[in-house]
Structure 1
Amino acid sequence: MPRPYPALALLAVAACTPTFNWREVSVAPTPLKAVLPCKPDKAERRLEITPGREVVVHALGCEAGHATFVVLYAELPQAGELGETLARWKGANLAASKAKAQSETPFQPAGALGLPQSVQVRAEGQRSDGSVVQSQSAYFARGTQAFQAVIYAPRITAEMSEPFFAGLRFE
C-alpha cells in the first residue's frame, strides 16, 4: 500500500540531517586526531615548501555547510626545519589566496611542539574566480611532521571553527 505523503516523509528526514556531522578521524600514519564535519577524502602531492626541496604533502578533507575543511601534513627530514617550514607554509597559503592576515594568535594542540611559529591565522582573500573567501588556519608540528588545519568559506562561523580546531590533538 502506497504512503499517502512520501514527499513529506522525505522533508522530515532532511530536516533532521545536520549540516555538520562531526566525527573524529585519525590522520594516519601520524599520531594526530582531528574532528571533521563530514566523511573526508584523501589526497597527496609534492610541494616545494622549503626552497630547493620538495616534500609530499598529505591532505584529509571534506566540504560541508558551504565550507572546506582540510588537515594537511608533511614529513620533514629534520625537526630543526619545522619552524621555518611552518612560517613559509603560512606565507605561501596567504599569498595563494591574495589574503591579508586579520589576526594571528599562538596555537598549540595537545601534544604539539611549542614552536613560536605554531599559530592560528584568520584571513580574508580571494578565490580564483574573484569571490571573497575567509580562511582560518592553524600551523603546528610534532616530531618531524609539520601540520596545517584550515577552513575556507565565504563566511566562517563559530559553529564551523570551534569544533574543528578544538578537536585537534595528538595521541
Structure 2
Amino acid sequence: MPSPRLCAAACLALAACTPSLDWREVRPAGGGVLALFPCRPSHDERTVPLAGAPATVALQSCQAAGATFALSFTDVQDPARVAATIDALRTAAGGNLGGAPVVGAAAAVAGMTPNPLAQRVGVDGRFPDGTAVREELLFFVKGTVVYQATVLGARVDASAVDTFFDGLKLGG
C-alpha cells in the first residue's frame, strides 16, 4: 500500500498538470479568421467612431487565468483608412491604460496582408483604480479588415499570449 506522503505528492503533481486554460478553435462570424481561445468567448458588436469615421467592430472575448483574451475586427472598406485605423487602435490602447505602446515585433499571421503597422505591441499601465496592468496587442490586416488581438491582465502569462497570437490564421 502506498504511503500517505506518496499519495499526497501524486495528488499535488496531478493538480499541477490540470490546465487552467481550455484552448479551443473559434471562427468568429464574418471575421475570415480562425482563433485559438483559452476559454469560450462571448460575442459583441457595436458601431464606434474610429479614425474619423463610424466603424462596426465585432469582438470576441473571454476571461481565463486572470486575464482577458479578445479578438476584434472591423472592415474599414477603404485601403486608405487601414493605417489610420491601426494607429487609432494603438493610441486608444495606450490612452485607456495611461501607458505608452511599445512595439515588440512585426506581426506574422498566416494569410495576412503585409502592412508596416502590423505589429505586436505591449503597454504597461494602470486600471482606473490604480492597479498595475499589462496589455499585449497584435495588430494585423487582411485587405481592408483590421484586426486587434489582445491579452490584458494584472499578470499576463507569456506562453498563453504566444499560444493565443500564434493560433490566429486568416482565411478561415
Give the TM interval when normalised to the shorter protein: 0.7 to 0.9
Q: Distance in 2 between matches of 1:110 and 1:159?
A: 19
Aligned length, in residue pairs? 159
2:24 maps to 23
Q: Percent identity?
A: 26
- TM-score, structure 1 as length reference: 0.86
Alignment of 1:1-171 (within 5 A): 15=15, 17-51=18-52, 53-171=53-171
Gaps of 5+ in 2: 1-10
The amino acid that maps onto 2:60 is L
1:8 maps to none
Q: Distance in 2 between matches of 1:72 and 1:78?
A: 18
CA RMSD between the two structures: 1.8
The amino acid that maps onto 1:96 is N
Instruction: Using the TM superposition, give the Cα deviation of residue 86 of structure 1 relative to its aligned residue in structure 2, in angstroms.
Output: 0.6
Q: Distance in 2 between matches of 1:128 and 1:22?
A: 30
Q: Deviations over 1:30-62 (max 9, x none)?
A: 2111110000000112211112x1111110010
Q: Distance in 2 between matches of 1:147 and 1:103?
A: 16
- TM-score, structure 2 as length reference: 0.86
Q: In 2, are the aligned partners of 1:41 and 1:61 still within 8 Å (CA)?
A: yes
Gaps of 5+ in 1: 1-10
Q: Distance in 2 between matches of 1:48 and 1:93?
A: 15
Q: Distance in 1 between matches of 2:132 and 2:143?
A: 36
Q: Deviations over 1:102-151 (max 9, x none)?
A: 44321130111111110110110111211011000011111221110000
Q: Distance in 1 between matches of 2:78 and 2:92?
A: 21
Q: Distance in 2 between matches of 1:45 and 1:28?
A: 14
